[in-house]
């Protein structure tokens, strides 16, 4: 999975299509990411030690990686390619313009 925590992504499908936001958490074993403000569900929570007040809370639910695209600073939403630099490290690059991500 080539999308990581902190990446800026754009949602390509679903009711939140077109929204751009940061990835809060990546779940590689399931092929999903949690994006801030996207796929929000209402959850009923009991008061616990962590949350002193119960009630209905908004929870960000996971979205499939295939329905989001990383946003390149120069050319917008794009796919990710890989390249190996001089030190032998793998770098993510933009498929449209070739810039490092």
99 domain residue, yes or no: no
100 domain residue, yes or no: no
Query: What's the rounded mean pLDDT across residues 60-86?
Result: 94
DSSP 3-state of 1: coil
Question: Residue 63 belongs to a domain with what CATH number?
Answer: 2.30.30.30
**pLDDT tens by residue, 17-65:** 999 999 999 999 999 999 999 999 999 988 888 777 889 989 999 999 9
| Structural domains in the chain (count) | 1
Pairing of strands 20-27, 90-94: unpaired
């Amino acid at each position: 999975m080539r999308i990581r925590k902190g990446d800026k992504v754009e949602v390509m499908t679903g009711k939140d299509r077109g929204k751009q936001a940061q990835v809060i958490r990546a779940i590689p074993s399931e092929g999903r990411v949690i994006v801030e403000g996207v796929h929000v569900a209402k959850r009923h929570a009991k008061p616990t030690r962590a949350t002193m007040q119960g009630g209905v809370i908004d929870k960000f639910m996971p979205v499939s990686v295939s329905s989001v695209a990383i946003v390149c600073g120069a050319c917008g939403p794009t796919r990710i390619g890989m390249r190996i630099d001089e030190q032998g490290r793998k770098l993510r690059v933009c498929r449209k313009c070739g810039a490092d991500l």
